[in-house]
Amino acid sequence: MSKSGTILYLDGVSVSFDGFRAINNLSLVLDRGEMRAIIGPNGAGKTTMMDIVTGKTKPDSGEVYFNGEIDLTRHDEADIAMMGIGRKFQKPTVFESHTVEDNLMLSLKGPRSIFPALFHRKTADEVRRIDDILGIIRLGDKRHMLGANLSHGQKQWLEIGMLLAQDPKLLLVDEPVAGMTDAETEETARLLKDIAKTHSVIVVEHDMHFVRELGVKVTCLHEGSVLSEGTLDFVSADDRVVEVYLGR
Amino acid sequence: MTFLRAIGLLLLLFATSGASAQSNETALRETIADLSSVKNFRETEEIVRSLGATGDPVVGRVLNALSDGNVSFRKSDNVVFIVSERAGRAKLFDPISGDEVGEATTTELTKVKVNNGLRRSIREVFATLTLGSPNPAVRQQAADTMFISPDPAAIEGLDAAIAKEDVASVKQRMVQARAAAVLASDLPEADKLAAIEVIGARGDRSALSLLVSYQGRSEGALREAAASAASGIESTIAVWNAAQNVWYGISLGSVLLLAAIGLAITFGVMGVINMAHGEMVMIGAYTTFVVQNIIRTSYPGLFDYSLAIALPLAFLVAGFVGLVMERGLIRFLYGRPLETLLATWGVSLVLQQLVRTMFGPTNREVGNPSWMSGSFQLGEMAITWNRLWIVVFSLAVFALLLYIFNRTAWGLQMRAVTANRRMAASMGIRTPWVDAFTFALGSGIAGIAGVALSQVDNVSPDLGQGYIIDSFMVVVFGGVGNLWGTLVGAMSLGILNKFLEPYAGAVLGKILVLVLIILFIQKRPRGLFALKGRAVEA
Amino acid sequence: MITRRFFANGADRRIFITIGLLLGVAVLVPILNIALPPDSAFHVPSYMVALVGKYLCFALLALALDLVWGYCGILSLGHGAFFALGGYAMGMYLMRQIGDRGVYGNPILPDFMVFLNWKELPWFWYGFDQFWFAVIMVMLVPGLLAFIFGWFAFRSRVTGVYLSIITQAMTYALLLAFFRNDMGFGGNNGLTDFKDILGFNVQANTTRSAIFAASAVALALGVFITWAIINSKYGKLLIAVRDAESRTRFIGWRPENVKLFAFTVSAVMAGIAGALYVPQVGIINPGEFAPANSIEVVIWTAVGGRGTIVGPIVGALLVNAGKSWFTGVLPEYWLFALGGLFIATTLFLPRGVIGMWDHWMATYRERKAAALPPSAGTPAATTPQQREWQASATGGAPEPQPAE
Ligand SMILES: Nc1ncnc2c1ncn2[C@@H]1O[C@H](COP(=O)(O)OP(=O)(O)OP(=O)(O)O)[C@@H](O)[C@H]1O
Ligand SMILES: [Mg+2]
């Protein structure tokens, strides 16, 4: 496999915790501009894979390349985020004592050192960006509400908004529709498809309707490695996938 | 004359303890009385020898005095006394019992004259007296005394004693004493070389000092031989010193282990830092004090059992205080570890002041039972019994906790709660009770640590404060993954401290250890034995 | 939106009132002390000037702690060390000002060095005869220590109680070190018997009043700087790190640097507080490094309300006034009171006096807003510091978390 043209390239990645292999010889390639859905039973290693890509967990072995050239295993979380990999956590985490607006402001792309932050003044451009994003994530009327007071679904969206504010090249989105109503789920799918027009995206989700809605290539993980890959129909027809995940 | 004095003292020691061969006291007195009628040194020497021939250690006193020129007889009635003169007056002592029997002016007395030849004879008599004692301990002691203050004149006596000796270890000491005497004599070089070898083989500190001082006054081959023997001893002593340091370290480590292990349990299971942990230790120590006080006033016979009585009491008292703390305060603060830290600090202030009000601010006397006092010698190390017992005790406590943790249902529950509280709760474990009793257990252990510490430290209201930071360091260093971390943490910190002390001094050593720990947790922020898992990153 | 603006203004107004008050006190108290005759009803006695001046230094120390604890979640149990280092730097200047008026009359060496038979001044005492040098050191030494310490601690992601414990170990190590005679800082007795500061007699009323004024101005400045920091984007980041450290990392910030800056600034503030404290009490000794002192600072901050700027100042003044009263009237009960304060504050007043007040006002306004027609129904904004309590209140029953 060639790394050129890929946004994310994982080859032979393994990691174990106290002897338990959470990721086992995992190989996965994402092309630039591609959106990929990842499914798999609980404990399949989906979140752990994201931990590896974002530098939170160091793999025991294997190659992890970003943009075909950057070895991610040599960088830490902040570096990787600055390179343009954004991540939404499985459990939504926003800055609870900040307003929605400030949450976005802190995530906006820009220098990340202390002194500029100390003397920072909000520019008109930033205000516009924040307004845009607020529009996209439909939280315009909540801009002064504290993160802590948002509902679960609103927190999910705010987190996606924070991702957008970073303007990353690759978005890792872990279970974005958990705890959402059907209508909200559809909204989110539409939103992600929008985003995918200009970004590379990996979405982890258990909700099959949502995955179908996205209509993209699907990878099914099981026990830390790829079980099956292809269109949703292809994957869900795969006997092994049915066996371990979907059920008959 | 120190040598003679030492031997004399030794003799008296054993005389009173009733060595056999008790000769007829009147016969002795008659012989001594003859001293008033001697005409020359030869006659005096005869009397000395016949006194020696009695083999009765009691003659040591008068011989000693004679050699010092302190034996006189009263002109009026020719009675012989040991005298102590001062400004023309003399106190009179009975030559056998040593009791003071009266006073006289010096003019009323005539001194029994001695010269150097006579003194030598007295020494020889002395040596044979002790070396010939039927008690092997006396003989060995005599040989050791002679080793420390060697006297060439004793060689003959030693030779005779060696020939007669049948206890191997005593014989060896005599040979060594002889070698020391040979070094001090003007015997030929070959003899001295052999002697150096014998002394070198003895290999203890007194042999070293003997060789070093001999090295200073000899030359040539002898000097070299002494030097090499001395350096040989030095290296064995260095090993012993290291062993001694390790021992001190283990002893400090076991104290730390006792103080820290309860802290590690509560911190590990509940994530609670109990700043009042030191005060639990203090409460245990004061419980011991109270127990001993009651025993002293009411049942003095039980004093040796005071610690055994104090142990369960201290556990209960401190455990109860802990239980009250957990139910009354800490359970409202779970999930807010920093605030728990502050609240428990408040409790520690209150407890300290309470004890200060009740028992006063000064140190309280807690006695060592007889089996905890004294020390014994192991090779070149001195080991005190109280330290040894504390090491044994702390390891026993550790083993017991290990058992509770790994082999009992309660331990299983504690481990389950440590690993995953929610899951444990949903499996039907009553987590509040596990918390409460874990906290009580941790406090109770601190209480019994207090009983042990009362044996080696001052019992005062600040007792706990002195240990709290060190205990924290043990927990931070060892990690809270399991109890072994605490053991390893405590022992390594104890030993490290004691090894740094000789080079850096106690205070600087301690500072260095603190700095090292601060650096260490850069590398391993969760200590040596860390818990792993997602909870860690939350 | 309107409510929010009101709140922001409310908070800012409080800051400016505080600064104004402090500046007013800085001018007024010296005048009332010096210019008015002692029998006047408005005369401020000198002992009061000294006492309150001391409290102001404590308030600055508490404010410094608040910056890291209240806004960044770093519970430092070693801030007393920075305070003491600042104090020692000032003490060294004051020692060298004694000149040949010491007991031994040595023009260069302070008395304790003569006593220890030292022949020359150790290198680290050079320059302390200059005031400007001492002032630089007052800020540089605590700042540098905080920077080095923080660099190691934050980089290795030591957090929570672990961090608290090693800060405590840090001040303990310094305590032991400064107790040593051969450290060259006067050992047990510390530095004392000061004569002059900038050529003025430290004992004189006018000098004392001037130092009092300096303390009040320094505190006002501290309030302003803290306020400016908190209201900058960096300040928001600081709070973000407090609440969700790893989240900030995943959007590209480096929490260790964020914390390091706050920690260093805070240490410098503590150092300045210490430097102003020493000439007012006339002595600095290793006892200032005692871990118990540092923990006491925490309770001042907690009582007043952490995460508020005015709170720590109010707390420091209240608790220390209480301490002075207690030690005068019921000395043996002070520790009971202090211990009880620790317990009561954490149990019943976790937001402190000011935080509690804000909370009450917010609920009151909310009620009033709810009673108004729905047009005013913008969601009630809460001040940042209130969020935490709401979160913990809604989070259900508290539950222990095993050590990490
Ligand atoms: N830091 C860690 N320490 C120990 N075990 C871990 C750690 N991180 C992940 N694991 C384990 O690795 C396995 C994979 O976990 P992961 O969270 O990646 O699964 P997942 O596919 O995201 O599951 P879910 O669908 O439930 O989110 C799990 O068994 C988990 O317990
Ligand atoms: Mg997951």
- Report the distance separating Cα C247 and Cα B537, nearest Å: 12
Determine phi and psi for B96, rounding to 5 degrees: -105, -50
Query: Are B350 and C339 a contacting pair at CB < 8 A?
Result: yes
Give residue A22 CA to ligand 1 midpoint distance, Å: 7
Among positive and negative, which fits the CA dihedral B133, B138, B143, B147? negative
Least distant ligand from the CA of A89: 2
Query: Are C381 and A145 a contacting pair at CB < 8 A?
Result: yes
Give the end-to-end CA distance of chain B in Å, rounded to a whole number: 78
Give residue C388 CA to ligand 2 midpoint distance, Å: 27
Q: Is A43's C-beta closer than 6 angstroms to any atom of ligand 1?
A: yes
The distance of B533 to chain A (nearest Cα, Å) reads 8
- For C108-144, letters b (16+ CB in 10 Å) and e give ebbbbbbbeeeeebeeebeebbeeebbeebbbbbbbe
* Residues composing chain C: 404
How many CB atoms neighbour CB C309 within 10 A?
25
- Report the distance separating Cα C202 and Cα C199, nearest Å: 9
> What residues of A are in contact with residue B482 (Cβ under 8 Å)?
none
Least distant ligand from the CA of A224: 1
Per-residue pLDDT tens digits for C286-330:
999 999 999 999 999 999 999 999 999 999 999 999 999 999 898
pLDDT at C386: 42
Mean pLDDT score, B204-215: 83
- Report the distance separating Cα B33 and Cα A187, nearest Å: 127
pLDDT at B275: 92
- Pick C249's closest partner by Cβ from A78, A95, A120: A78
> What residues of B are in contact with residue C172 (Cβ under 8 Å)?
469, 514
Mean pLDDT score, B439-457: 91
Q: Is A42's C-beta closer than 6 angstroms to any atom of ligand 1?
A: yes
- Restricting to B residues 286-325, those with a Cβ less than 8 Å away from any Cβ of A are none
Per-residue pLDDT tens digits for C1-59:
444 444 445 668 889 999 999 999 999 999 998 888 888 888 888 889 999 999 999 99
More confident residue, C225 or A153: C225
A neighbours by CB contacts (3+ pairs under 8 Å): B, C
Per-residue pLDDT tens digits for A72-124:
999 999 999 999 999 998 888 899 999 999 999 999 998 898 999 999 888 99
pLDDT at C240: 95
Long-range Cβ contacts of A242-245 (<8 Å, 24+ apart)? A244/A41, A245/A39, A245/A40, A245/A41, A245/A220
Is the ipTM beyond the 0.85 threshold?
Answer: yes
Q: Give the tokens for residue C353.
A: 């006096």
- Spatial CB neighbours of B509, under 8 Å, sequence gap ≥ 6: B497, B500, B501, B503
Q: Give the tokens for residue C76.
A: 């430092």
- Pick C400's closest partner by Cβ from B341, B421, B518: B421
How many CB atoms neighbour CB B39 within 10 A?
7
Q: How confident is the model at residue B237 (pLDDT cuts 50, 70, 90)?
A: confident
> What residues of A are in contact with residue B422 (Cβ under 8 Å)?
none
In 3-state terms, what secondary structure has residue A122?
A: coil
- For B462-501, letters b (16+ CB in 10 Å) and e give ebbbbbbbbbbbbbbbbbbbbbebbbbbbbbbbbbbbbbb
Q: Is A44's C-beta closer than 6 angstroms to any atom of ligand 1?
A: yes
- Report the distance separating Cα C303 and Cα C352, nearest Å: 5
Query: Are B532 and A56 a contacting pair at CB < 8 A?
Result: no
Query: Are B532 and A18 a contacting pair at CB < 8 A?
Result: yes
Per-residue pLDDT tens digits for B479-490:
876 788 899 999
Highest mean pLDDT among B17-31, B43-57, C66-80 belongs to C66-80
- Spatial CB neighbours of A18, under 8 Å, sequence gap ≥ 6: B532
- Report the distance separating Cα A61 and Cα B352, nearest Å: 55
Instruction: HSE, CB side, 13 Å, CA atoms: give it for residue C34.
Output: 15
* Residues composing chain B: 538
Determine phi and psi for A21, rounding to 5 degrees: -80, 100
Measured between CA atoms, the residue of chain C closest to residue A168 is: C251
Distances in Å between the Cα of C336 and the Cα atoms of B273, B322, B327, C333 are 21, 18, 20, 5
pTM: 0.82
- Report the distance separating Cα B448 and Cα B446, nearest Å: 6
Give the best residue of C250, C263, C265 to mutate against chain A (max A CB count within 10 A). Answer: C250
A107 touching chain C per CB within 8 A: yes
Q: Is A45's C-beta closer than 6 angstroms to any atom of ligand 1?
A: yes
Q: Is B534's C-beta closer than 6 angstroms to any atom of ligand 1?
A: yes
User: For residues B372 and B389, is the Cβ–Cβ distance under 8 A?
Assistant: yes
pLDDT at B54: 73
Q: How confident is the model at residue B7 (pLDDT cuts 50, 70, 90)?
A: low
Mutate to test the pocket of ligand 1, among A28, A42, A57 (most ligand atoms within 8 A of CB): A42
**Maximum Cα interatomic distance, chain A, rounded to a whole number of Å:** 60
Query: Are B531 and C169 a contacting pair at CB < 8 A?
Result: no
Q: Give the tokens for residue B214.
A: 């001999």
Counting Cβ atoms within 10 Å, is residue B451 exposed (0-12), middle (13-18) or buried (19+)? buried
Nearest ligand 1 atom to alpha carbon A18: 4
- Report the distance separating Cα C147 and Cα C155, nearest Å: 11
Query: Are C339 and B536 a contacting pair at CB < 8 A?
Result: no
Least distant ligand from the CA of A44: 1
pLDDT at C267: 97
Closest CA to C379 of C4, C71, C90: C4
pLDDT at A36: 94
- Beta bridge partners, B72, equal B81, B111
C117 touching chain B per CB within 8 A: no
pLDDT at C167: 92
- Pick C342's closest partner by Cβ from B343, B515, B536: B343
Q: How confident is the model at residue B5 (pLDDT cuts 50, 70, 90)?
A: low
Closest CA to A36 of A241, A231, A216, A174: A216
Q: How confident is the model at residue C387 (pLDDT cuts 50, 70, 90)?
A: very low
- Report the distance separating Cα A33 and Cα B353, nearest Å: 69
Determine phi and psi for B352, rounding to 5 degrees: -60, -45
In 3-state terms, what secondary structure has residue B327?
A: helix
pLDDT at B303: 84
Q: How confident is the model at residue B18 (pLDDT cuts 50, 70, 90)?
A: very low
Mean pLDDT score, B100-128: 80
Determine phi and psi for C318, rounding to 5 degrees: -60, -55
Q: What is the average pLDDT score of chain C?
A: 87
Q: Is the pLDDT of residue B84 over 80?
A: yes
Give residue A206 CA to ligand 1 midpoint distance, Å: 15
Mean pLDDT score, C261-269: 97
- Restricting to B residues 446-485, those with a Cβ less than 8 Å away from any Cβ of C are 465, 469, 472-473, 476, 480
